[in-house]
Amino acid sequence: MSHQKDLKKLAALLKSKSQPKVIFMLGAGVSTSSGIPDFRSPDTGLYHNLQSLNLPYAEAVFDLSFFKSTPKPFYTLAQELYPGQYVPSKLHYFVRLLQDKGLLQRVYTQNIDTLERVAGVENDFIVEAHGSFAENHCIKCGDKYSNDEFKAKIFAKEIPKCLKCKGLVKPDIVFFGEGLPERFFTCWEEDLELLESAKDDEYITITAGTSLTVYPFASLPSEVPKSHNRVLVNKEKVGSFKQNRTNDLVFLKDCDGFAQDLVDELGWTSEFEELIAKE
């Protein structure tokens, strides 16, 4: 019942005269329906699946020092996650629809699957906070390594090595202990300034499909000024949403179901279907 009430409230906000802009903060849960496992869902998450790789601890697959000594588990995972094998989810297409309607401010994503781009969201709107497979570099000398070569090697189950110094090659995905791309900080500084100077109804943040456990990304929703509406879409309450703010709207359900319900409530069903069919 409260779900329905909150959905109506969110739809009314999105359709209000103030034409609010939306800032998304996304995690692996928005891509699970595309067939990419998240990290932490019990039984289906990547960490569960990685048990067969004999990792000392699950996060080791994204740990730089572990990678240097034992690179194979990461390359196995990279093959599984490599872009081009998956289609975007309804939530990704909802982001695209808001872009087309001029209601998108930014999409911060922790995902490395590039499905926001595949859904047709323009690069200027996207902040890939944990990097992506867009480029590869040698971890020793920094030399660039071609995507075609990288893909061919990992799909042949071979280790990609730098052509100059024979160092290990890694896509520009942020490992534990590495810094986030500069763009993450500059865009957030810009957007936070907008949020702080805007009226309450000018921006809505939607956090979806993330356990909010990886910092600094996990702190983004808590930095949103208290006067603004924050939305959470996730299977369970996470992070700063556990301490309910009065104007939080929390949808404890799957991301695609939420996107479809909201689109229906907004009266955008047929254009949403057309957009998905066209892509």
Which residues form the catalytic set? 130
28 binds ligand CNA (CB under 6 A): yes
| Nearest distance in Å: CB 135, ligand CNA | 16
Q: Which of 9, 40, 101, 245 binds ligand CNA (CB under 6 A)?
A: 40
241 binds ligand CNA (CB under 6 A): no
SS3 per residue for the chain: CHHHHHHHHHHHHHCCCCCCEEEEEECHHHCHHHCCCCCCCCCCCHHHHHHHHCCCCHHHHHEHHHHHHCCHHHHHHHHHHCCCCCCCCHHHHHHHHHHHCCCEEEEEECCCCCHHHHCCCCHHHEEECCEEEEEEEECCCCCEECHHHHHHHHHCCCCCECCCCCCEEEEEECCECCCCCHHHHHHHHHHHHHHHHCCCCCEEEEEECCCCCCCCHHHHHHHCCCCCEEEEECCCCCHHHHCCCCCEEEECCCHHHHHHHHHHHHCCHHHHHHHHHHC
180 binds ligand CNA (CB under 6 A): no
29 binds ligand CNA (CB under 6 A): yes
| Nearest distance in Å: CB 213, ligand CNA | 6
207 binds ligand CNA (CB under 6 A): no
229 binds ligand CNA (CB under 6 A): no
41 binds ligand CNA (CB under 6 A): yes
Q: Which of 7, 20, 32, 248 binds ligand CNA (CB under 6 A)?
A: 32
Binders in 45-64 for ligand CNA, by CB under 6 A:
45-46
The stretch among 119-127, 192-200, 203-211, 259-267 that binds ligand CNA (CB under 6 A) is: 203-211
| Nearest distance in Å: CB 218, ligand CNA | 8
Q: Which residues bind ligand CNA (CB under 6 A)?
A: 27-29, 31-33, 36, 38-41, 45-46, 110-113, 130, 209-211, 213-214, 234-236, 238, 254-255
